[in-house]
Amino acid sequence: MAVAVEYYLLLSAAVFCTGVFGVLTRENALMFLISVELMLNSANINLVAFSHFYGNATGQVFSLFVMALAAAEVAVGLGIVLVLYRNFDEVDVRNATTMRW
Amino acid sequence: MVGAFDFTPAIPLLPFAAFLVAMLVGHFAPRLLPKGGAIPGILATAGSLLLSIWTFLTVSGGSYHAQDIYTWVVGQNTFSLHFGILVDPLSAMMLVIVSLVAVLVHVFSLGYMNDEGETGLPRYYAGLGLFTFSMLAFVVADNLLMAFMFFELVGLCSYLLIGFHFREPGPPSAAKKAFLVTRFGDYFFLIGVVGILATFGTARFVAVGDGVHSFPHLAEQALAAAGGEGTMPEHVAHFLDVIGMNAETWFAILGLLVLGGVVGKSAQFPLHTWLPDAMEGPTPVSALIHAATMVAAGVYLVARMYGFYALLPTVLAIIALVGGFTALFAASMGVVKDELKQVLAYSTISQYGYMMLGLGTGGYIAATFHLMTHAFFKALLFLGAGSVIIAMHHNEDMWDMGGLREKMPVTYYTFLSGSLALAGIVPFSGFWSKDEILYEALIYGAGDSPILLAAYAMGLLAVFFTGFYTFRMVFLTFHGEPRSDTARDPHGVRWNVKLPLVVLGILAATVGLVNMTPVAELTGLHIEYLHQWLVIPEASDFAALGYDNYHHLLEQFAGYHAADIGPLAPGAVSLALALGGAGLAWVLYNVDSPTEHTEKLGGVKTVLYNNYYQDEYQVWLAQGVTLPLARAADTFDQGIVDGVVNGVSSVSLFAGSRVKRIQDGLVTHYAALLTLGLVVLLVAFGLLEGWF
Amino acid sequence: MLIEALIAVTLVSAFVVMLAPDEVAGKLAFALSLLPVAGSLWMFGQFDASGNALFESGNLAFETTARWISVGPYALNWHVGLDGISMPLVVLSTLLTSLAIVSAWTPIQERQSQFYSLMLFMLASLLGVFTALDFFVWFVFWEFVLVPMYFLIGIWGGPRRKYAAIKFFVYTNVASLVMFIGFVALVFALPVQTMDLPAIAAALDAGNFQTTYGLGAETLKVVAFFAMFLGFAVKVPLVPMHTWLPDAHVQAPTPASVMLAGVLLKMGTYALLRFNFTMLPGVARDYAVLIAIFAVVSVIYGAMLALAQQDLKRIVAYSSVSSMGYVILGLVAYNVYGLGGATFQMVAHGLISGLMFMCVGVIYNVAHTRMVGDLSGIADKMPVTAAVFVAAAFGYMGLPLMAGFAGELFIFLGGFSATFPYAQLFTALAMFGIVVVAGYLLFAMQRVLFGPFSADTDYDIVPAAPHDAAAIVVLVLLVVVLGTVPEVFYGMIQDAVNPMVDSLPEATAFLTGGEL
């Protein structure tokens, strides 16, 4: 029995909102990164769901791209987090405010 | 066969060559320039004089000449602009006068400039050469545009020569004033030239040959058509249609605009103020420019296009009134001046007023006559004054002179000849010409144009003043006891000063004999040679430039009719007035130690001394009105116009400095803004596309 | 291929000069700048075009067209060529650049190779502006001109150079943006697949609009006309968009001022002539009175401002505003003398204003001050410079037989014969400029050149260097030649403007035929 596509979309939306919530409220850079991952993966859910719905593999291929991108992003992001830690001895995003006007 | 007319272009070009020689050789190899440039100048102007005389003789043989020399602009689908020469009796006469005076002034300059050890002589002779070139080219111009162009060049030369002593403060200021005031007149003149070209499509004075037109003739046709005869030239009709005026009004406006230039150059009221200041220039320059030629350019121009002015009674009346008023006005100021050249300056203004009066009252011949006689006697007087100034070591105050009669007899007798001519004492030249002007004014005024009588009255009154200030000048300078050491032991002058004086002295005494109207009337002899000279046979192509045609136009369009008055009584009246003035001067000033009787005039004297405050109001217009206005405009420009520009940049900077605070460096805030933006976009699209 | 060669030679020269050592850069730049001079003069000699570049009847000289790139449906071509309007301006640009380079030898003592290189870059882009006939190519050159000028003012300028350079750049660039939007909107509304100017002009003449963005076709034309007018008017500059000019001139080094007044301002009027007045003559006609008012205000107001200045350079800068107002008046008159006179005045004013700036520069090089009150009677010490200054000033006042008179006279003749309402009155008012210009130049000359000598400066007043004097003497001779023989350029100019005149018969209902 196939699950109706709406449920996938609801799941995706829920995961996305969780990610947004995380980005907006967390102060820890690691939590930040995880939240961003959540948002990316919610997009993946959508891609796969629609791909399945339309019987077209393109969406699944794209989700693979997104995963690769997410991996790269995590690598860069963790690098930034490490540098943050080295400079401020903690990973609070509110500390790094020198990149402003 | 090679005739005089083949060489006419060389008349102006010879002095131009002298200008180039004086300028280039004077700059690169001053040692090679004999007498600082005087010799090339004398040779060139003498050559011009000879060619002018040849041309004059050819014209006396009854052949005239018009030729296009050079097309300046070849109009494509529009009219062309060209340079050409026109040799008719008027211009032939003027050529001789200008080149003769130019030669004499060059010779005189040897005594006045070279012998006095002036520096910068090449510059001086280059200026004289360029001036002579421009003036001669102006005289032979066959169209109004070319005339305007050389008119302006004449103005430039006058600027350069008045400001010759540029290291002193006075001359540059006078030069600036001369150019600026005449420029103001030329502004109107230029509008007139442009207007005439736009209206008629041509600026030719006379149409000779097929397919060409002249603007006076087109104007005549247009006015005749407006009066119901013939058809209006198409081009003119179209232009009048565009501007929505009738021919009479528009032509009168054009005539007045051109008159603006005339008033400026011929130093007529109210643009006369530059001329007395222009006496800052070297005296030979005053003789050449401010007496005999450049100032004559204005009057000559009116005579040149008389076929146009004769159609316009309103403009003629204005010319007459301006002339009459200027004659009187300037003469009254001449009465109180202390400096020799100042008296002569005001007399110049006054005499040109007479010429304008003559032209305005239909006395074309009389005005031309006076133009000629005045050129000789005024050049003479200025050169005589120059001789006195040499003798007095450049002191011009007449109260320091006196008793020079015995010391410098040549100067005295020639100066006396010029003075008698200026005062209008029979039989010296000035009497005949001035008398004829007044006579013409009277007969046409008493005919159908009473307004001319007002001009006549002013002119007549001025005769008395003229006699007075002329002889006041003579007596103060030459008679009585010497009133200073320099006057007791004056500096001698050489042949190069005396020769021009003698030549001009003889001319001033005799040249009036060419047109003795009263004598002709009295005896019935045909001795009005100038009259006959200016009449062109009707069969000729040039008949439009002849006196008969002007006379006819004056009658037909201006309504000028001569009253039947004999020339004797009016002549006697003006002679009596001149003698009266001279006699008063005799009584007051021909004493051993004259005193300033002007004190008796009281307040009037102050007004006269200050030239009726004419300078003051013009300076006020320039410095009291225009300059503050310019400063206000500058403040406005810097404050408001540029303020807006700078304001835009300030507002941008300020807004930027505020808005940039959003960029506070907190990642969370950026994320919040992103989200907010997404929501706003979603809502906006939703509303617009009707999702809800 | 001559035009390409001309631009290429100039560009290569610019690179060569940039790499040259400072000591020889000036001389080398001058020598190399003679190549484009010779090239443009040779082209002038071989010039065989007839008609107007933007009309189908026009037959261009040295024309080349090459496919360049496509953007969407639009083909952007390399299309260059010369007609009677652009040829004189090309000659003006090359000549003036050479002389400006000579005038830089004395004042420019730092980073010389870069300075001269930028001058040559500017010449290359100016040549492009005056020859390009494809909008895209033209626009690239048009914008590129700003870059060298920005650096010339910003690096070698006076004390407030940064302010002036940024003001100049931003002001004219924003104006270009407005113009760009206006023109591109117009093109997108037309059924053309190209940015080729003649094709666009032909399409506008035919008047088939595909789309008009919800506006009427006529309204679109008016909007586009004024967007372009605004853009070009800043460059001219027309009052009230002129305030960048005095700042730029005062701060710019003399050679840059020469180029700015001599050639850069002409880009504005050239573009007005090519775009607004050739492509949309109907709109120009409908709004003639409005434009004429702007022209007259520019003439009189600019002259009044010049009267109030104490800095010689500011005087000349404001008088440029005044003189360029005449050009606009000539354009709006829309007859042979008006349009031809406007074009002629571009060249004439280019030479004369360049000459004035060079004269002021020569005085400044020696005295290190330009203020009228600081100097007096310097004719005594610098006779040649003073003589040329007098000649230049009289040229500026419109002395007959000098180029300025010819240009102004033609414009006045055109203005007076124009048929839009009150044309005669506007012309007469604008002509009053010749009195005011005489006023301020005579005052300035009297104070600076004449009178007893005094100089409120720490430097000795000595005669100008021979090369400085030579440059201004050459320029004054050019001015006299052009004023005595205006046919040098005026014949081809008339040939090029006549098709425009024919396209708007009501503006020129009379003034036809030979001499009447």
Mutation to test the B interface, candidates A16, A17, A23, A91, most B Cβ within 10 Å: A23
> Which amino acid appears at position C268 of this protein?
G
- B152 and C434 within 8 Å at the Cβ level: the answer is no
> How confident is the model at residue C512, as a pLDDT?
46
Distances in Å between the alpha carbon of B336 and those of B170, B468, B613? 22, 10, 14
Class of residue B400 by CB neighbours under 10 A (exposed 0-12, middle 13-18, buried 19+): middle
**Nearest by Cα to C255 from C29, C17, C488:** C29
Tens digits of per-residue pLDDT, C195-251?
899 999 999 888 888 877 788 888 899 999 999 999 999 998 898 899 999 999 999
| Residue B685: partners with Cβ closer than 8 Å, 6 or more residues away | B691
Residue C275's φ and ψ, nearest 5 degrees, are -90, -70
| Chain B environment of A23 (Cβ under 8 Å) | 668, 671
Quickly tell me which residue has 């939007």 as its tokens: C181
Q: Distance between CA atoms of B55 and B47, rounded to whole angstroms?
A: 12
DSSP string, B100-138: HHHHHHHHHHIIIIITTT-S-HHHHHHHHHHHHHHHHHH
> How confident is the model at residue B191, as a pLDDT?
94
> How confident is the model at residue B132, as a pLDDT?
92
Quickly tell me which residue has 């006007």 as its tokens: A101
Neighbour tally for B484: CB within 10 Å: 15
On whether the CB atoms of residues C399 and C405 are closer than 8 A, the answer is yes
| Within-domain flag for C467 | yes
> How confident is the model at residue B1, as a pLDDT?
56
DSSP secondary structure letter of residue B142: S
On whether the CB atoms of residues B529 and B514 are closer than 8 A, the answer is yes
| Chain A environment of B661 (Cβ under 8 Å) | 101
Residue C454's φ and ψ, nearest 5 degrees, are -160, 150
> How confident is the model at residue C453, as a pLDDT?
87
Distances in Å between the alpha carbon of C416 and those of B57, B244, B365, C212, C357? 42, 14, 35, 37, 31
Peptide bond into C246 cis (omega under 30): no
DSSP string, C152-191: HHHHHS-TTHHHHHHHHHHHHHHHHHHHHHHHHHHHHTSS
> How confident is the model at residue B280, as a pLDDT?
85
> Which amino acid appears at position B651 of this protein?
V
Q: Per residue in B527-551, is it b (16+ CB within 10 Å) or e — as a string? A: ebebbebbbbeeeeebebbbbebbb
Tokens of B607: 């007004």
| Residue B564: partners with Cβ closer than 8 Å, 6 or more residues away | B443
Written in H, E and C, the secondary structure of B335-374 is: CCCCEHHHHHHHHHHHHHHHHHHHHHCCCHHHHHHHHHHH
| Within-domain flag for C365 | yes
Asked whether at least 3 C-beta pairs link B and C within 8 Å, the reply is yes
- Of the candidates A20, A24, A97, the beta carbon closest to that of B665 is on A97
**Nearest by Cα to C309 from C156, C448, C165:** C448
Class of residue B312 by CB neighbours under 10 A (exposed 0-12, middle 13-18, buried 19+): buried
Q: Distance between CA atoms of B68 and B433, rounded to whole angstroms?
A: 34
On whether the CB atoms of residues C70 and C40 are closer than 8 A, the answer is no
> How confident is the model at residue B241, as a pLDDT?
83
Report yes or no: A86 at the B interface, CB cutoff 8 Å.
no
Which parts of chain C sit beneath pLDDT 70?
A: 508-516
Mutation to test the A interface, candidates B662, B668, B673, B679, most A Cβ within 10 Å: B668
| Within-domain flag for C463 | yes
**Nearest by Cα to B154 from C51, C401, C184:** C401
**Nearest by Cα to C74 from C199, C227, C212, C176:** C199
Distances in Å between the alpha carbon of B575 and those of B73, B434, B581? 52, 10, 10
Peptide bond into C237 cis (omega under 30): yes
Q: So what's the ipTM on this one?
A: 0.93
Neighbour tally for B691: CB within 10 Å: 9
Distances in Å between the alpha carbon of B482 and those of B295, B372, B592, C348? 34, 35, 9, 59
Ordered mean pLDDT values, 10 residues apiece, chain B (692 residues): 81 91 85 81 92 90 86 87 90 91 89 80 90 92 92 91 88 90 92 92 85 87 85 84 86 93 89 87 85 84 91 91 91 85 89 91 89 90 88 81 82 89 86 88 84 88 90 86 79 82 87 82 80 84 86 86 81 88 85 74 75 81 86 89 90 90 82 90 89 75
| Within-domain flag for C51 | no
| Within-domain flag for C140 | no
Total structural domains in chain C? 1
Tokens of B572: 């006697």
SS3 C61: strand
Q: Distance between CA atoms of B323 and B437, rounded to whole angstroms?
A: 11
Q: Distance between CA atoms of B432 and B423, rounded to whole angstroms?
A: 11
| Chain B environment of C416 (Cβ under 8 Å) | 191, 194-195, 197-198
On whether the CB atoms of residues B593 and B480 are closer than 8 A, the answer is yes
Report yes or no: B682 at the A interface, CB cutoff 8 Å.
no
On whether the CB atoms of residues C114 and C101 are closer than 8 A, the answer is no
Give the domain range for residue C483: 287-516
Chains in contact with B, where contact means 3 or more Cβ–Cβ distances below 8 Å, are: A, C
pLDDT averaged over chain C? Answer: 90
Tens digits of per-residue pLDDT, C45-54?
999 888 898 8
Q: Distance between CA atoms of C151 and C313, rounded to whole angstroms?
A: 20
> How confident is the model at residue A101, as a pLDDT?
62
Q: Distance between CA atoms of C368 and A57, rounded to whole angstroms?
A: 78
| Within-domain flag for C137 | no
Neighbour tally for B604: CB within 10 Å: 13
Chain C's closest residue to B182, CA to CA, is C435
- B665 and A100 within 8 Å at the Cβ level: the answer is yes
| Chain A environment of B663 (Cβ under 8 Å) | 100-101
Q: Distance between CA atoms of C453 and C462, rounded to whole angstroms?
A: 12
Q: Distance between CA atoms of B193 and C409, rounded to whole angstroms?
A: 10
> How confident is the model at residue A61, as a pLDDT?
92
B269 Cα to chain C: minimum distance (Å): 19
| Within-domain flag for C169 | no
| Within-domain flag for C273 | no
Helical H segments across C368-382, by residue range: none
Mutation to test the A interface, candidates B654, B659, B667, most A Cβ within 10 Å: B667
Query: Which domains, ranges and CATH numbers included, belong to chain A?
Result: 5-88 (1.10.287.3510)
Tens digits of per-residue pLDDT, B358-390?
999 888 999 999 999 999 999 999 998 888 888
- B180 and C438 within 8 Å at the Cβ level: the answer is yes
Q: Distance between CA atoms of B476 and B373, rounded to whole angstroms?
A: 25
Q: How many helices (H) and strands (E) are present in chain B, helices listed first?
A: 32, 2
> How confident is the model at residue C388, as a pLDDT?
92
E runs forming strands in B460-510: none
